Amino acid sequence: MSWHSDVRLTFPHKDDIPMSRSSSWSHTCSASSGMSDLASTVARQSSRESSRGSSRGSSRGSSSDASDSNMPDTQKLLEQKYGVDMSVYSQIEDLTHLVGPLTEDSVLRCLQARFYSQHYQNKIGPVVISVNSYQHRPSCQALLGPVKASVLLQGVVKDAVTQHADTGHSQAIIVSGESGSGKTFCAMQLLRQLFDIAGGGSETDTFKHLSATLTVIQSLCSATTVTNPECSRVGMFIENFITDTAIYRAKIHAYLLDRERVCSIQRYEKNYHIFYQMLSGLGTEEKAKLHLTGYSIHNLRYLSSGSTLQNELEDKARFDAWKSALSILGIPFSDVMRVFSAVLLLGNIEFVEGTGLELDLVGNNEIKAVAALLGVSGVALYRGFTTRTRNSRGQVCKSLADVNMANATRDALTKALYFRTVSAILKRANSIRRPTCNSTLSDSIESNLHQDSLGLSGVRDMPLSRNPSLTSSVCSNYSKKTRVDGFISIVDMFGFETAECNRLEQLCINLCAETMQHFYNTHVFRSTMQSLREEGIQADIEVTYFDNEPILELLSSKRSGLLSILDTECAQPRTSADTFVSKAKVHHRINNYFFEPLPKASSVFGIRHFAGRVVYDASNFLTNNRDQLSDDIICILSKQNCNFGFVSHLFARETKSSSSSGPGPKGMKHRILPSSSSGRNGSDEVRGTLSSDFQNKLDSLIRTLVHTKPHFIECIKSNDRCEMDMFDKDVILRQLRSLQVLDTVQLMAGGIPHRMRYKSFNNRYAVFLTHWNPYQTSSQQEHCKAILNSFLKAMDDSKLPYVSTQWTLGKKHIFFSEGTRQQLEAMRVEKFDNAASLIQAVWKGYLQRKLWPERRKTLQTQQGAPKVTYPVQRKRSKTKESGPKKDPRLLQQASSYYKISLEAAPAIPATRSYNVSGNVRLSYPQSRIMKDDFPKVASDDNVLCRGEEVKVIGPASARGHLKVQRRNVCLDVPYHLLDLKTVPAPDGMDI
Ligand SMILES: Nc1ncnc2c1ncn2[C@@H]1O[C@H](COP(=O)(O)OP(=O)(O)OP(=O)(O)O)[C@@H](O)[C@H]1O
């Protein structure tokens, strides 16, 4: 059964849509229009829009501020070249409103026109396309600095917040794009907006805490790469838990991958920012204490091997900001500095062949300094590097390490010290206020998701492969059910990248980029098409898109994926990179996405990723994937041998398990950075590899995302040289292709990309029904039809501009076009606005009438004049009317819809007489304990002291406050200062 506002049953091709009443201004151009036709049509559209003079509706361009007078010269040149009025193009905010044939060229030209008129954000229906203009550095500016988020990004956040509030479902704003495309910058802008709109603002403790954490992470986990001077070497999934008043907690899940960078940097690249910042920011005395006197980026080997360009002033300023942020998190600065200084100095220690049996050491002073900084003995440290304990069938034997082993142990210790410190800082930052654990990734209050209403059932249940045997670890878990808490998350994962020499880290990063692209494809293209097919709906437009599932299979299939072969190789005692590559070649010889680069080399292979070809050098794949550190060195850092508590704490788990079976090394291997899942089975040795850990985490992330309502932001970099205001067409085109922008535009403009379960649709849009009878027993589909009928009528009455509206009714879902979605949403908002004005008008009228006798008395006494005239209804002027129009029909409708009696006074909105803790409803009054003194400064004795038991009598009118009664005085106390006295009472009611 299908139905359509324009009597078309299925969705026709965009170019075939004739000019008609409901084929709106966005579809008025014939398919054959050339460039000049296009320009004139766009101009027609623009003039029509301006004549409407309305700024309503999300379908409209909001870029009217781009005037000719301040149009940049480049734009004028473009106009001369193409003969097109670029200022008209620049007003097309939504690419689905492009007129004429939708081609790469028209999309590119529109983006270019908007770029040169300084409109860097565009949209394709609900998807936002953000072009990086390289105007701001660093990305944290977007969170803390004066950078204002664009209207479109604000719109995404508002949408997520509204949907979260309306439905209680978790929302995920997923930011994707290549490395350097501005993902982190966008993510920061989004976070700021989220706090401004729903989080209680930037003055809240949660915001301060989060911004401090992000400032710390930015220095610790960002580095200069060839593609991006501010490249984040960490993937982030930031969960924001929201109550009805504020964001009460933000939790960062960080994915640390780039371990090699600490001890080996590629040409033109740099180590992590923090090292350069500390060398510029530390004072002479501090450096002396840290044994860094006389060292600079030129004589520290871990820094000097890469680019040594440095802006010392900027680095110093950033270091100061980092130091203050660290203190906000309560992490001892001096401890962290000791570890990082040791890391830097470790690079200057080198083991070389000696004349005797033992290895010679270059960097005697450095090893002493490192030992002092780590609080261990220098001799013990030397022994730790140069001896190797082995456990062969229960027999522990010691041997001397060779040069390679000793230097490898040094590098492994460097990585372990750095990443364990970063991880400890993150753990500390996340550990503040921890509600009950319940979900895959998060730990917070419980809530249930109703997948169907999100139209996600297709995504969840959908087999990700046409081939049922696909067992990719990333794909296979899509279908697992998890319960996720209500949160709004921002996902800034790794973007596609290619370096001069691509190592295991790049492979994992590109696996992540492939996975995120696959998630997008699945959500935007595949699930809709599959649902259409399942419900027997014939689509006229079959949008083609590049499905990257075979690449994911090549990388992560459990049976024969490259990472699986790598893991198998890592488990073998004697193997090499060449063996791994040759096995990979045997398995994937005929795979289209796997290739052998020229000139041929035994340890090199190539992959055709969705965003481009990458050649990988597998020389260090095995060592990096094993990610191991021997217990010879770990034992030295145990509590017994190390007098620096911070460091011994970093290795506490390993040293504890070693010492439980007697002193000294046992020949065990531990992970450089253990994952949370490793060692869970209680075994001493930590299992897993770097790639398997990462795949598990990615899997877990995707499982969480599948249960959220996603909002997509696709970032595009404007050029490869990080230059401001430079629009490189080739670079942009490459990204438009890889991100499938044109396919998305075609789907959104001409197809029916949205679908909703009838029940959810009916619940959301019941507002269109003039007479709603909740007891009516018609089917959901009938109900939906009635709503659509009313919607059509309302469209006729509405002053909103028409857009093309199409829909089709399936068995379980209603499918509708982007135009319909925009129209439905805009009119729903209009209905609510009208109803709210009406309710307010009725209430105000009632209040005034009720107050009038009292007021009249006052007036009489004041004036002493007995003559009081009753307020007379002002005569309405026929020409001019001010205030909300009192349409009796509308009044009647609204009052019947909201069940309001026009005679009786409106009920006072009920204040919630309870609050919720865990899954238990607690009623007031409650006994709570003060966590801190409040207020901090008070003249009288009305100070609630820390530890004092107080009586909470209900919620206060101020956001995030509760009313506390004490000696007949009521105080509004911030919620976070009040601890529950007892665990939810057993008589509490389960909700
Ligand atoms: N919309 C924007 N306006 C101005 N400057 C921007 C914008 N987006 C990004 N930048 C700047 O461009 C640079 C690169 O951006 P960013 O680091 O956010 O990219 P990314 O996609 O996160 O890269 P990576 O994946 O390598 O971390 C940064 O210096 C950032 O401040």
* CATH number for the domain harbouring residue 619: 1.20.58.530
Q: Look at residue 479 and tell me if it is in a domain.
A: no
What is the C-alpha to C-alpha distance for residues 323 and 622, in angstroms, rounded to an integer?
Answer: 37
> Quick one: pLDDT band at residue 493, thresholds 50, 70, 90?
very high
Per the annotation, where are the binding residues for ATP? Answer: 177-184
Q: Residue 948 class from Cβ within 10 Å (0-12 exposed, 13-18 middle, 19+ buried)?
A: middle
CA of 425 to the centre of ligand 1 (A): 24
User: Which one of 772-776, 821-825, 956-960 scores highest in mean pLDDT?
Assistant: 821-825
Residues 160 and 266 placed together within one structural domain of the fold: yes
pLDDT at 823 over 50: yes
For residue 157, what pLDDT band results from cuts at 50, 70 and 90?
very high
Q: Omega before 138 cis (within 30°)?
A: yes
Q: Which of 141, 185, 227, 508 to mutate to test the pocket of ligand 1 (most atoms within 8 A of CB)?
A: 185
Q: How far apart are CA 841 and CA 97, in angstroms?
A: 38
Domain end (from 658, 677, 700): 700
Residues 416 and 510 in one domain: no
For residues 818 and 941, state if they share a domain.
no
Q: Look at strands 127-132 and 709-717 and give their pairing.
A: parallel
- Examine residue 59 and state whether it is found in any structural domain, yes or no: no
Q: What is the mean pLDDT of the chain?
A: 78
Find the 182 Cα to ligand 1 centroid distance in Å: 3
| Token pair recorded at residue 378 | 């220098």
Q: How far apart are CA 466 and CA 526, in angstroms?
A: 11
Residue nearest to atom 7 of ligand 1 (CA): 132
Q: What 3-state class would DSSP assign to 104?
A: helix
Taking 70 as the threshold, does the pLDDT of residue 744 lie above it?
Answer: yes
Average pLDDT over residues 537-545: 74
Per-residue pLDDT, averaged over 582-588, amounts to 92
Number of structural domains in the chain: 4
Residue with CA closest to ligand 1 atom 6: 134
What local confidence, expressed as pLDDT, does residue 139 receive? Answer: 64
Rounded Cα distance, 202 and 194, in Å: 10
Same-domain pairing of 137 and 229: yes
Query: Which atom, in ligand 1's list, is nearest to the CA of 130?
Result: 1
Please report, for residues 219, 777, 835, 889, 892, the alpha-carbon distance to residue 896 in angstroms, rounded to integers and kept in the order given: 59, 19, 11, 11, 6
Strand partners, 172: 489, 710
Pick the residue with more confidence: 274 or 871?
A: 274
Q: Count CB neighbours of 406 within 10 A.
A: 22
Residue 460 lies in a domain: no
Q: Are 39 and 88 in contact (CB under 8 A)?
A: yes
Q: Is pLDDT at 115 greater than 50 in this prediction? A: yes
Going from the Cα of 162 to the center of ligand 1, the distance in angstroms, rounded, reads: 28
* Per-residue pLDDT band at 829 (split at 50, 70, 90): confident
Answer yes or no: do 377 and 264 share one domain: yes
Q: Residue 963: its pLDDT value, please?
A: 87
pLDDT of residue 19: 29
Cβ neighbours around 402 below 10 Å, total? 14
Instruction: Write down which residue in 810, 832, 854 finishes a domain.
Output: 832
Confidence check: pLDDT of 277 > 50 = yes
| CA–CA dist 381, 370 (Å, integer) | 9
Regarding whether 394 and 274 lie in a shared domain, the answer is yes
| 417 and 549, same domain (yes or no) | no
Residue 718 lies in a domain: no
**Structural domain range at position 538:** 504-626+694-700
Q: How many C-beta atoms lie closer than 10 Å to residue 238's C-beta?
A: 23
Ligand 1 — pocket residues by CB below 6 A? 120, 130, 132-139, 177, 179-185, 228, 230-232, 495, 715
Q: How far is the CA of 139 from the centre of ligand 1 (A)?
A: 6
What's the CATH number where 270 sits?
Answer: 1.20.120.720
Instruction: Give the number of residues written for the chain.
Output: 991
Sheet holding 127-132, edge to edge: 121-124, 127-132, 709-717, 171-176, 487-492, 234-242, 247-256
pLDDT of 528 > 60? The answer is yes
Q: What is the maximum alpha-carbon separation in the chain?
A: 119
Q: Among 797, 832, 867, which residue terminates a domain? A: 832
| Same domain assignment for residues 927 and 828 | no
Angle at 151 between CA 145 and CA 154, to 5 degrees: 70
| Average pLDDT of the segment spanning 713-742 | 91
Do residue 295 and residue 425 come from a single domain?
A: yes
In sequence order, which ranges of 350-466 are alpha helices (DSSP H)? Answer: 364-374, 378-386, 403-430, 457-461
- Asked if 624 and 503 count as a contact pair (C-beta separation under 8 A), the reply is yes
Q: Is 247 helix (H, G, I), strand (E, B) or coil?
A: strand
The closest-lying atom of ligand 1 relative to the alpha carbon of residue 120 is 1
Q: Is the domain of 568 the same as that of 422?
A: no
Residues 530 and 389 in one domain: no
Q: What is the predicted pLDDT for the residue at 647?
A: 93
Would 663 be classed as within a structural domain?
Answer: no
3-state secondary structure of 124: strand
Q: At 793, list the tokens.
A: 């009528």
Task: Report pLDDT digits (tens) over 158-209.
Answer: 989 988 888 888 999 999 999 999 999 999 999 999 988 887 788 888 888 8
Stretch among 139-148, 182-191, 271-280, 583-592 having the lowest mean pLDDT:
139-148
Between the CA of 516 and the centroid of ligand 1 the distance, in Å, is 18
- Note the pLDDT tens digit of each residue in 637-673: 988 889 999 999 999 888 876 666 667 777 788 889 8
Give the span between the Cα atoms of 818 and 524, in whole angstroms.
Answer: 12
Are residues 627 and 669 in contact, defined by beta-carbon separation less than 8 angstroms? no
Please tell me the distance between residue 183's alpha carbon and the centre of ligand 1 in angstroms. 6
Contacts of 461 (CB under 8 A, 6+ apart): 479
DSSP for residue 524: I
Q: d(Cα 884, Cα 838) in Å, to the nearest integer?
A: 8
| Strand, coil or helix: 392 | strand
Report the CATH number that the domain containing residue 820 is assigned in CATH: 3.30.70.1590
Average pLDDT over residues 365-387: 93
My answer on whether 279 and 409 are in the same domain is yes
DSSP classification of residue 173: E
Q: Closest ligand 1 atom to the C-alpha of 138?
A: 31
Q: Which residue has the tokens 């002193």?
A: 663
Please report, as a single letter, which amino acid is at residue 797. D
pLDDT surpasses 90 at 369: yes
* pLDDT over 70, % of the chain: 73
Task: Decide if 343 is inside a domain.
Answer: yes
DSSP, collapsed to helix, strand or coil, labels residue 917 as strand
- What is the tens place of the pLDDT at every residue in 427-483? 999 886 544 333 444 433 223 333 333 333 333 333 333 333 333 444 443 333 333
Q: For residue 121, which atom of ligand 1 is closest to its CA?
A: 1
pLDDT for 301: 94
Helix, strand, coil: what percent of the chain each, to 5?
45, 15, 40
pLDDT for 689 beyond 70: yes
Q: How far is CA 811 from the centre of its chain?
A: 34
Tell me if 95 is assigned to some domain: no
More confident residue, 454 or 693: 693
User: Is it the case that residue 813 has pLDDT exceeding 80?
Assistant: yes
- Whether the CB-CB separation of 608 and 617 falls below 8 Å is answered with no
What pLDDT was estimated at residue 454? Answer: 35
Ligand 1 atom closest to 185 (CA): 18
- Answer yes or no: is 713 within a domain: no
Q: What is the mean pLDDT of residues 611-622?
A: 93
Q: Which residue has the tokens 């107050």?
A: 851
